[in-house]
Amino acid sequence: MKDLNEQDFLEWADAYLREELSEEEKRQFEAYCEANPVQKELLEWHQTFVGDLKKADARVNFQRDLIRIAQGYGKSYQPKSTTKVISLWDRLKLNAAVAAAIAIVSVFSTLWLTGYYKNLKKTTSDYSALRRDMNTVKRNVNAQNAAIQNIHNTKDNAKETMHYGATGFMITKNGYVVTNYHVITGADSVHLQNHKGESFKANIVFTNPEKDLAILHINDSTFKSIKSIPYTFKKQDSDMGEDVYTIGFPRDEAVYGQGYLSSSTGYAGDTLAYQISIPVNPGNSGGPLLDKEGNVIGIISGKQKGLDGAAFAIKTKALMETLNSIPADSLNGKNVVLNNKNLLHNLSRTDQIKKLQDYIYIVKVY
C-alpha cells in the first residue's frame, strides 16, 4: 500500500478508533501501522489525544449533570437562609469547573492547530538518528578501550614477543636444522614451526659467524625423529646459469621462488657463496637453495643492500666445513649424519615441493 499523507492517515485512524471499520479494514490498518513505525507512533499519540478529549468531554458532561441536578434540587428545596458568601462560592465553583473544561479543550486544540502532532514524525526520526549516533560512539569508545588495553598487555609481555622470523631446514633425520647466524644472534629462545602449524623448541648447538651459519637441534618432547630426508647435499660447485629454486617463509605461509645462478661467487668475490637471480626477502634467510634434481646446493643468506636484484646463497661446501667444526661435546652423543639418497630427482617440481615442505621451518626468535 502506498504511503498516506498525515490527514488521510488520521481520518483512517479516527475511523479505526471509533470502531467504524470492518474486520478486513481493521487488519489492513494494523498491518499498515506495523509496516510503518512512524505512523504507528503517530497513531499512539493520536489515540492518547482522542482519549484525553473524551475524558475532558466526560468531565464537562459530569459537571453539567451536577449543575442540572443542583438546579433541580434548588427548585425543590429552598433553605431558610443563605448567606451571600455561600451563594457567591457556589457560583465561583461552577465558573471554575467550566473554565477548567474550556482550558483542557483549548490546550489540546492549540497543540493540534500549531502543528505539534505534525512535527511528531520529524521529532521521532531525529531521536532515532541521535540514538544510532550514540550507539556508534559507544562502539568506537569500546574499541578504543580494547586497543589501549591490548597495547598495555603487549608492553607488559614485551619479552615474550617474537622480534624476528626467518627460515631453516632439516639436515638430519634426528632433528638438526641449519639457518643463518644473523637470524638467531642475540636470541633468548628459538622455536621452529612447520607448515602444519606445529611448533618445536630448538637449542642453538653451534654458530659460525664468518660463514653466517647456525646449527640448531630440536629439543622438544613432541618431536619425533623421521625415517629419512628426501634431499642430498651437493658438495661440488654448480655452474652459472643453472636452474635453481627455493622455499622460504617471507610471511607465515611457504613461498616458492625460482631463478638461476647468476654468478659462481658471492659479494666481493666470496668463493663460498653464489649470487642468484631469485628475489628474496628477510624471511627467506636460512632457506634451502636446490637444483632441478632436488640437491641442496646452498643456504639463502639474504639480499645485499645497495645492489638491486642481488641475492646470495652460502654454498653447501661452507655448511660441510661448519658441521666438521662442531665440538663433539656440543652434540651430546647425537651425531650429524647427512642423507646420501636423493628421493626427489625423478619427481616433477610440484611433487618435489610437496615433499620438501615437511622439512622446512619458520624460525621464530624470542
pLDDT of residue 358: 92
Q: How far apart are CA 207 and CA 204, in angstroms?
A: 8
Residue 220, amino acid: D
Q: How far apart are CA 318 and CA 274, in angstroms?
A: 11
Mean pLDDT confidence for 248-274: 90
Cβ neighbours of residue 211 closer than 8 Å, sequence gap 6 or more: 181, 272, 314, 318, 321, 322
176 contacts 217 by C-beta, under 8 angstroms: yes
Mean pLDDT confidence for 120-135: 56
- Within 10 angstroms of residue 148's Cβ, the number of other Cβ atoms is 10
Q: pLDDT confidence of 257, banded at 50, 70, 90?
A: very high
Instruction: Copy the grid coordinates of residue 45.
Output: 499519540
pLDDT of residue 159: 45
**Residue 188 above 60 pLDDT?**
yes
pLDDT of residue 158: 46
**Residue 282 above 70 pLDDT?**
yes
Angle between helix 23-35 and helix 6-17 axes, rounded to 10 deg: 130
Q: Give bridge partners of residue 217 from the DSSP assignment.
A: 176, 203
Name the least confident of 89-103, 167-181, 189-203, 300-314. 89-103
pLDDT of residue 108: 61
Q: Closest Cα to residue 3, out of 43, 44, 33?
A: 33
Measured CA distances, 17 to 3, 46, 113, 223 (Å): 20, 10, 21, 80
Backbone torsions φ then ψ of 333, nearest 5 degrees: 80, 0
Domain extents in the chain: 6-118, 128-158, 164-365
pLDDT per residue over 346-362, tens digit each?
999 999 999 999 999 99
pLDDT of residue 107: 60
Q: How far apart are CA 100 and CA 143, in angstroms?
A: 56
Under CATH, which number does the domain 164-365 receive? 2.40.10.120
Name the least confident of 14-23, 112-121, 180-189, 314-323. 112-121
Share of the chain above pLDDT 70, in %: 72
> What SS3 class is residue 87?
helix
Cβ neighbours of residue 117 closer than 8 Å, sequence gap 6 or more: 42, 45, 46, 49, 111
Residue ranges of E strands in 135-230: 164-170, 176-179, 190-193, 199-208, 213-218
pLDDT of residue 273: 94
Name the least confident of 72-81, 241-250, 259-268, 282-291. 72-81
pLDDT of residue 271: 92
Mean pLDDT confidence for 111-121: 58
144 contacts 92 by C-beta, under 8 angstroms: no
Classify strands 164-170 and 176-179 as parallel, antiparallel or unpaired: antiparallel
Name the least confident of 116-125, 208-217, 264-273. 116-125
**Residue 24 above 60 pLDDT?**
yes
Q: pLDDT confidence of 5, banded at 50, 70, 90?
A: confident
